[in-house]
Structure 1
Amino acid sequence: MKARYFSPLLLAGAAVAVVTLPSHRTTSLPNNAIPNKFIFEVASVSEIPRDLQGRSPHEAVYDSLRKRGVGFTVDREFNHEGLFVGASVTLDNADDVKTLVSDPKIQALRPVISIPSPKDQLKKLEIVKSRSDPHVPADTESTHILTGVDKLHAKGVLGKGIKIGIIDTGTDYTHPSLGGGFGPGFKVAGGFDFVGDAYDGSNTPVPDNDPLDQCNGHGTHVAGIIGANPGNEFNISGVAYESTIFSYRLFGCSGSVSDDIIVEALLRGVSDGMNILTMSLGGADGWTESSSSVVSSRISATGRIVTIAAGNDGAFGSWYSSSPGNGINSLSVASIENTVIPLQNATVSGDVTHDPITYFATFPLPINDTRPVYATSNDTTVVDDACDPLPDSTPDLSKFIVVIRRGTCTFVQKLQNAADKGMTAALIYDNGNGFAAITVDNFTATLIQADDGAFLVEQFAAGKEVLLTFPQSGADTQFPSDVGGLVSTFTSYGPTNDMFFKPAIAAPGGNIISTFPVPLGSFAVLSGTSMATPFMAGVSALLFGVKGTSPAVGIAARDLFQTTAQKVPSSKTDGDPLQTLTQQGAGLVDAFHALNTHIIVSPGQFVLNDTANFKPLQTFTVKNTGRTSKSFKLSHVPAGTATTVTAGDIFAADGPVPLTTQYASVKFSESSFTVRPGQTQKLTAHFTAPKGVDATTFPVFSGWIQLTSADEQLQVAYMGLAASLKDKQIVDNTDEFFGLQLPAILDTAGDVQVAPTNYTFNGTDAPTLLFRLAFGTPLILVDLVPSNAKISTTLNRREELDLLPRKSSSSIKTLGNVFEFDYSPRNSDASDAADNGWSEITLTNTFANGTTIPNGSYKLLFRALKVTGSPKNEADFESWLSPVIGVAA
């Protein structure tokens, strides 16, 4: 079946700013689509018509396009039978995309999209220089202990003979811990640079055979998580440090990459014989349809393991999963926080005795002298300490360490009031909200724990001299993380808009020390799903090393990892629910359990779908590959139900997404069973969605079917929606973001058009359609209709239109399509363009097929298809009709 296509005009930006209108002359496209660039897929050689035999399927398409007058440049060809045969092309005229989509030799057509360079989640890059440096995690092998990798290493399971392809920013293979060289016989035995140092996503790639990276570093950090040799000064080792690495570089020193290069790298990795491909990259998408997602999924289906970052957009809430991590069969990896935090200690002296005081900083505060403390209030219960200007009696604070209690106003406001009295350094003590990093702008200040702050204030109030010193080395502390073992808050939430189970699994990704390019410092501490993903690739290598590299092992890997995973709570507070599976996947990988169990449970996940398409009856099997019988009891372990949409609103709830204890219920065909050696037991589970939930919040319920024996637990994860996706409003028609009701037409000056307005389409004299999506949509259509059209729409205010009864069984008659986009993600509520805050389309005076729009008066009909809706049913679209637009070209 032919895929839908994207037909661009000139346009589409992304950004957001409350009340302030955007500049509407942007050039970026929705979903980061690159203008005029498309990837087409053709039938394999064996499937093309006989009269085309003798020519490659690519040449057959090129010849057909030339005969129809289409100008194009071939950027790259793909010719991997069984995975992907096609090409990426740049059209001279974007309107010619209609010709491509109508070509019977083209099976699918997708826009080429831009994927941003991977970024870690730390505010400051932490380069480490020695084992005594304060920002080295206290237990550098803590991630191995957390996941059972340490036990496998102790048994000599190290990934020897397994090939892992790292698709990233390249690798500094000169690093001693990464083998110190490149080519056969070295740890980094091969690879390719698809782009070159200078590539930034907007210029021409300059490929070569050397994937060395000494300017970015991300890929080198990834490589160390997989393969760093032990025996270095930081006592770290890769998860599979005897594996062989191939490095595929597709980012320059900075910038983005087009996903046709990602596809090329994936296929190159398959041709080079990689057992595992890993990609710590991606961008918010919400759908499973991008080219790199599709190819990743197909590769996974052949028995290779593909691990991909789940994304770092957790702050934007649910239904915001990342591509290519959305590949249906690939392993999308969430991040778990490391169990330790590298922090600093200040020493206490003077008239008092006290243990060193831990302060929340990975580097020492730049204070080289010993200073007395000064408390802005002697009352340790004050709720608004330093929220108002300090009194005139306050001394010059420049030579003190100022101690302030947390609460009421912002940290920066407190610090500014103290700075007005000369403060140059301060410690804010906690009031019970939690010991964590705080935002202090450019002030020299950080947080200390409540008891330490109370001690300092009480001693100061008693008139005792209290002195603090901040050692610049050797004062690091092994501080247990109070969120260690929890899902990193930055991890993107699923599921996909079409209800696929994303992410699939979790691995350590928060606060990870690994290798870094030698010129940039050799070792660094980074955080992100980028760090969890290579960890999972390393675990996959251990699996292949033990079980063999047959396709059957690779195909079953996801089920094995999911059914042996560790359940992750939502907090450290007793009674709080387990974290929603929309963020943790099936749980934290337990490598030792996965490689040592003799019980194979399949499948590893159930997708129950929404209420309109609910699949309550699920079947799974339990196979005993061991030598003794095992008896199990079945139970239901629910996770927190995710309130994915804010109550009374249409927008996704920001992360951390609120959780409730309104759980599903489950009945089993058997409550207990015994499975003998070699036997397979078939079981069923019947699910009932949670009762009493508010369907307008689109609650996603999830959890596990748990199988418990005398010596182990296994599980099957599940996820469902207690609402109908078809009921979810797609288009933002509120005034919450810009102070004006959306969608809207902006005129040449960038003001909202209200009255009929003529445009010449000379230069910048053209209208712009501004809109936001509150949820993803499979299809956006923007069509031209007569100015006197009487069309029933769903989003306009009724008093503005002459409405007719809606006809749900037939399509609306239009003058022609001017814009179409498939599989659009929702917009975020971010305040900058890079984070997908809005979309806008600046129109030309042509239809999408390239024909000129005659001068005259028209309206734009904007339509967005509801999820699970039919494009043939007009009632399944949300629609909006614009003010009158005059074409006077």
Structure 2
Amino acid sequence: MLRPSFVWLILGFTFLLPAGAANLTDGWRDPSPNFLQNAYIVELYTPDALQSIAGLGTRVLTSPHDVLYKRLEERGIEYSIRSVFDDAAFLGVSLQLTSSLYVQSLASIHDIKSLYPVQLWQRPSPQNVQVLAGTSGADCPPDGMSALQMIGVDKLHAQGYLGKGVTVCVIDTGVDYSHPYLGSGFGPGHKVAFGYDFVGDSFNGSNTPHPDPDPLDQCAGHGTHVAGIIGANPGNPYGFSGVAYESTLGAYRIFGCTGTTPDDIIIAALLRANKDKCNVLNLSLGSRSGWSSAPSAVVASRIADMGKIVSISAGNDGSYGPWDASNPATGLNVISVASVQNTRILVQNLTVVGAAHGPIFYWGLDPLNLPQPDYPYDTPLSIYALSTNTSVVGDGCSPLPDSTPNLNGKVVLVRRGQCLFTTKLANIAAKGGNVTLIYDNIVETLWSPPVAPYIATIISPSDGEFLVKQFAAGIDIKVVFHKGGISSTTPSLDGGLVSSFTSYGPTNDMFFKPAVAAPGGNIISTYPVALGSYAINSGTSMAAPMVSGASALLFEKLGTTRSVARRARKLFETTALAIPSDKTGSSPLQTLAQQGAGLINVYNALSYGTTLTPGELLLNDTAHFSGTKILNLRNEGKRRQSYTLSHVPAGTINTIRGDGFQPVLGPIPLTTDYANVTIIPSSISLSPGATAKILVIVDPPKTGVHTLFPVYSGFIQVRGSLGEDLHSSYLGLNANSFDLKVIDSTSYYFGYRLPALWDSKGKVQAPGQAYALQGNDAPTLVYRLAAGTAALYVDLVSANTTFAPSIMKRDGVFEREWWPPGNVLPAAGKVAIVGRLSAFYYRPRNVDASYQSGGYNLVPITSRFANSTQIPKGNYKVLVRALKITGNPKEESSYESWLSTPFAVV
């Protein structure tokens, strides 16, 4: 969604480098460990574009790459080539510089279109992984097709649409194509017909890759699970099949057995898949961002625009709250996919002895591995409840009292909440308890909690409360764990709801992410033979291939044309099913910032004779509000149809807490502060082939608190007389994005106000402290971002610099509140800086996790500026400036700023 002052951000998708713009990247350096030092992706102009740039001299006769190499040689830049990109979707090269000294010189080259630092991406990590232990009897789940039934695939299979003639390419950890239900081979004639390994087994992100033509994975498993969701053959022991099991698969391995991968390898895989004429590309990977800025997102978006369908997982960071859309799913033309819980789950059964009660379920393919001989199987084990109050807060969070009996041999009951699971279990273990049942305090959902190295599992609130009440009444209540387990499937109590782990959007620039949802919670699929052959995983990684498979069915029926590819997201969005926030039906629909346009139904998408465009109505924020929209409703069927139109609101989410700095953590509560919508006309009848324009006027909610930055959303629903229900989705911010506070100036985490300078001992430095800038004798800047920023600068200024930064302090002690000053910094470029320490672009906000990776940022101050020149002796302050969302990068008033206490370099 372009805003006039924001165009420079969209054009380059990072910092744009037009001719003579070296100052924009002057001294660019990023000490963060998730970037490769001195490695850069360079995008080049095409020959025609290069020729059109004024002042570049005579006609360019050589290739853009050769021109770049010549410029590098002219400047004496020492480098090696990591990758060469020569594709219509991306023309450029990835370079490894021998020194940061060359960055400024590299950025000054006129022939460069854009410059990106090379980022390291974490390998995909599903929320739960359970490998199936057997293929018959109790271990064999009786229903493997529920996820496909949720999205209408079973109906298309019955009509003979199985993906034949469509190629779907998996960019992931590789695929174990030796699996009997993935074709038992590789190459022409096999299910996995082509692909490439860009890395090799031993690659971990920091060493040398060893590419080869064979994308076999027998050590990771993620890509094999994804491939099975798309294309696993039916007839396997667990009764499931891929969504498009007659499609042809391509496999592109970009991760080794361990570690990370750089995004220049992701780009190489995207371009290779595009060159290999893949119809559908699946990327079940991502990185927290909030911006459409990663080069892989840019390339994926361009490939989608060229006529491919690109399906990408929306991210598994829902617990971190809003404004956290994941790259590369933030690509403007790709399909970002949220996860919905499967309607059925695999469970183990406990038998209750001593009271009339049915079996108690806990999530799992296998029974708990009880410590023997103290906890024998098939034997009633006594219960001990830590508290007889089923509303207790912080149950087990403190050391247990001395009156607690020896818990060895007893099954301990503890209520979830208030502290880490492992804290509760450590306190229980201190009293001898070795097996624990944790009853949930939120929902009846069963799931696998992070309890290692302890033995524990989650049971439902109702089952837990029943056991506690029996224990409190003095009844000798016991439970039995059965050897070998009693496995079954049961309707999932949160089946059909958005998975709580799904990342929340929208993007910082108010784009609609995620786009749609698909089943991703508790999905059974193939796994490398050496690792067990079959597994159940959860994650948006599992939802994306559902959409990829559905896209193959769409291509099979409608044809693999560019026009079909560019219609795919709209078709999936407008025929999706709105997702509730709970099973009661009394609560608001889930916010579209997490569900997107809803749960896809590919059968509806391909069978409806009515179309509705656009699929997304982007309303923006209050300062850039665009509330008047036109919908195009067309009857492409063979019968006349009447339609009624109505407004269906979804829950509004307050995204920022009352302190103005901390995001609301997920799952985010919903409010009924709905928008007011006028639809003209509210009913219409269309003959076959007829089109009508529908006027939609959206007014932001009249209630709510702007300083909590409410995101409101909902649907314009169209209900046809022939049973065709469609909708167009809207989303807006009932506040001004510019007012989002970017730099966290609270004491929320550290007990003192941020930002701050730490001395060599990690303490807040005293004003005037002196440093040699050698070894540990140097200060470190610590800061947090409460919101994303497109540009953040860290500079040294003279100690006698005087101006009023936007984050105020008094006598070196930060006050509890901050306020905008009456006067602001002078215009950009007029602040006298001694030198740049660091510059960062398109940074996500920090997560709400103190003292953990991503919770805060450190910038060590070394003896040199970012351009490698020496910092002279003298008295300085550190100036931090962060561009506010929608701010004009050329206006200093668009930046938040902070000025440190003075220090000396001696």
TM-score (norm 1): 0.92
Query: Cα RMSD (Å) of the superposition?
Result: 2.9
Alpha-carbon spacing, 1:792–1:156, altered in 2? closer, same or farther (3 Å): same
Matching of residues 191-202 of structure 1 within 5 Å: 191-202=195-206
What is the Cα deviation at residue 629 of structure 1?
1.8
The answer to which of 473-482 and 604-613 deviates more is 473-482
Matched, 1:843 2:843: no
Partner of 1:865: 883
Q: Write the distance in 2 (CA, Å) between the matches of 1:406 and 1:225.
A: 33
Partner of 2:21: none
Partner of 1:18: none
Opposite residue 126 of structure 1, the aligned amino acid is: V
Q: Write the distance in 1 (CA, Å) between the matches of 2:27 and 2:260.
A: 21
Partner of 1:358: 361
Which residue of 789, 792, 797 maps to 1:780? 792
Alpha-carbon spacing, 1:576–1:866, altered in 2? closer, same or farther (3 Å): same
**8 Å CA contact 2:29, 2:840 repeated in 1:** no
**8 Å CA contact 1:372, 1:401 repeated in 2:** no
Partner of 1:74: 81
Matching of residues 728-877 of structure 1 within 5 Å: 728-799=740-811, 805-806=823-824, 809=827, 811-831=830-850, 833-834=852-853, 836-877=854-895
Q: Write the distance in 2 (CA, Å) between the matches of 1:374 and 1:266.
A: 57
Opposite residue 763 of structure 1, the aligned amino acid is: G
Q: Write the distance in 2 (CA, Å) between the matches of 1:377 and 1:875.
A: 59
The answer to which of 650-659 and 554-563 deviates more is 650-659
Matched, 1:46 2:42: no
Opposite residue 644 of structure 1, the aligned amino acid is: T
**8 Å CA contact 1:164, 1:244 repeated in 2:** yes
Opposite residue 830 of structure 1, the aligned amino acid is: A
Alpha-carbon spacing, 1:179–1:465, altered in 2? closer, same or farther (3 Å): same
What is the Cα deviation at residue 362 of structure 1?
3.9
What is the Cα deviation at residue 871 of structure 1?
1.6
Alpha-carbon spacing, 1:633–1:52, altered in 2? closer, same or farther (3 Å): same
Partner of 1:23: none
The answer to which of 740-749 and 310-319 deviates more is 740-749
The SS at the match of 2:205 is coil
Matched, 1:234 2:252: no
Partner of 1:22: none
CA offsets 1:448-489 (integer angstroms, 9 cap, x no match)? 456656776787789987664322335112221111100111
Alpha-carbon spacing, 1:90–1:679, altered in 2? closer, same or farther (3 Å): same
The SS at the match of 1:371 is coil
**8 Å CA contact 2:143, 2:238 repeated in 1:** no
Which residue of 105, 118, 129 maps to 2:134? 129
Tell me, which stretches of 5 or more residues in structure 1 are unaligned?
Answer: 14-27
Alpha-carbon spacing, 1:734–1:374, altered in 2? closer, same or farther (3 Å): same
Q: Write the distance in 2 (CA, Å) between the matches of 1:464 and 1:648.
A: 48
Partner of 1:885: 903
Matching of residues 174-573 of structure 1 within 5 Å: 174-348=178-352, 355-365=358-368, 366=370, 367-376=375-384, 398-401=408-411, 422-427=432-437, 434=444, 436-437=446-447, 442-449=453-460, 468-473=479-484, 475-573=486-584
Alpha-carbon spacing, 1:99–1:428, altered in 2? closer, same or farther (3 Å): closer
Opposite residue 364 of structure 1, the aligned amino acid is: P
Q: Write the distance in 2 (CA, Å) between the matches of 1:574 and 1:735.
A: 41
Matched, 1:111 2:126: no
Partner of 2:711: 700
What is the Cα deviation at residue 597 of structure 1?
1.0
If asked which structure has higher relative contact order (CA below 8 Å, sep 6+), I would say 1
Opposite residue 200 of structure 2, the aligned amino acid is: G
CA offsets 1:494-513 (integer angstroms, 9 cap, x no match)? 01111111111100000111
Partner of 1:61: 68
Opposite residue 338 of structure 2, the aligned amino acid is: A
**8 Å CA contact 2:774, 2:862 repeated in 1:** no
Q: Write the distance in 1 (CA, Å) between the matches of 2:284 and 2:708.
A: 32
What is the Cα deviation at residue 430 of structure 1?
6.5
Alpha-carbon spacing, 1:743–1:405, altered in 2? closer, same or farther (3 Å): closer
Opposite residue 189 of structure 2, the aligned amino acid is: G
**8 Å CA contact 1:383, 1:406 repeated in 2:** no
**8 Å CA contact 1:285, 1:321 repeated in 2:** yes
**8 Å CA contact 2:803, 2:825 repeated in 1:** no
What is the Cα deviation at residue 96 of structure 1?
2.3
The answer to which of 42-51 and 335-344 deviates more is 42-51
Tell me, which stretches of 5 or more residues in structure 2 are unaligned?
Answer: 1-10, 17-23, 52-56, 814-820
Matched, 1:578 2:596: no
Opposite residue 273 of structure 2, the aligned amino acid is: G
CA offsets 1:45-102 (integer angstroms, 9 cap, x no match)? 2333474644210110111122112222111111113x11111111222242222222
**8 Å CA contact 1:138, 1:342 repeated in 2:** no
**8 Å CA contact 2:630, 2:696 repeated in 1:** yes
Alpha-carbon spacing, 1:279–1:807, altered in 2? closer, same or farther (3 Å): closer
Q: Write the distance in 2 (CA, Å) between the matches of 1:776 and 1:408.
A: 29
Q: Write the distance in 1 (CA, Å) between the matches of 2:470 and 2:711.
A: 51
Opposite residue 446 of structure 2, the aligned amino acid is: A
What is the Cα deviation at residue 755 of structure 1?
1.9
Q: Write the distance in 1 (CA, Å) between the matches of 2:666 and 2:900.
A: 34
Partner of 2:7: none
Alpha-carbon spacing, 1:380–1:812, altered in 2? closer, same or farther (3 Å): closer
What is the Cα deviation at residue 283 of structure 1?
0.5
Q: Write the distance in 1 (CA, Å) between the matches of 2:798 and 2:411.
A: 71
Q: Write the distance in 2 (CA, Å) between the matches of 1:847 and 1:423.
A: 56
Q: Write the distance in 1 (CA, Å) between the matches of 2:79 and 2:326.
A: 30
Q: Write the distance in 2 (CA, Å) between the matches of 1:152 and 1:299.
A: 27
Q: Write the distance in 2 (CA, Å) between the matches of 1:379 and 1:789.
A: 60
**8 Å CA contact 1:781, 1:864 repeated in 2:** yes
CA offsets 1:323-345 (integer angstroms, 9 cap, x no match)? 11110110011000011121111
Q: Write the distance in 1 (CA, Å) between the matches of 2:385 and 2:549.
A: 53
Q: Write the distance in 1 (CA, Å) between the matches of 2:660 and 2:386.
A: 44
CA offsets 1:95-133 (integer angstroms, 9 cap, x no match)? 4222222221111111111110000101x5434432435
The answer to which of 50-59 and 61-70 deviates more is 50-59
What is the Cα deviation at residue 289 of structure 1?
1.2
Alpha-carbon spacing, 1:427–1:284, altered in 2? closer, same or farther (3 Å): closer
Alpha-carbon spacing, 1:382–1:97, altered in 2? closer, same or farther (3 Å): closer
**8 Å CA contact 2:377, 2:482 repeated in 1:** no
TM-score (norm 2): 0.90
Alpha-carbon spacing, 1:51–1:457, altered in 2? closer, same or farther (3 Å): closer
The SS at the match of 2:752 is coil
The answer to which of 452-461 and 236-245 deviates more is 452-461
What is the number of residues matched between the two proteins? 866
The answer to which of 693-702 and 180-189 deviates more is 693-702
Alpha-carbon spacing, 1:519–1:630, altered in 2? closer, same or farther (3 Å): same
CA offsets 1:512-534 (integer angstroms, 9 cap, x no match)? 11000000000011100000011
Q: Write the distance in 1 (CA, Å) between the matches of 2:71 and 2:442.
A: 70
CA offsets 1:769-789 (integer angstroms, 9 cap, x no match)? 211100001111122222111
**8 Å CA contact 1:9, 1:841 repeated in 2:** no
**8 Å CA contact 2:317, 2:502 repeated in 1:** yes
**8 Å CA contact 1:371, 1:467 repeated in 2:** no
Opposite residue 444 of structure 2, the aligned amino acid is: G
Alpha-carbon spacing, 1:465–1:195, altered in 2? closer, same or farther (3 Å): same
Q: Write the distance in 1 (CA, Å) between the matches of 2:311 and 2:386.
A: 54
**8 Å CA contact 2:517, 2:600 repeated in 1:** yes
**8 Å CA contact 1:112, 1:258 repeated in 2:** yes
Alpha-carbon spacing, 1:378–1:598, altered in 2? closer, same or farther (3 Å): closer
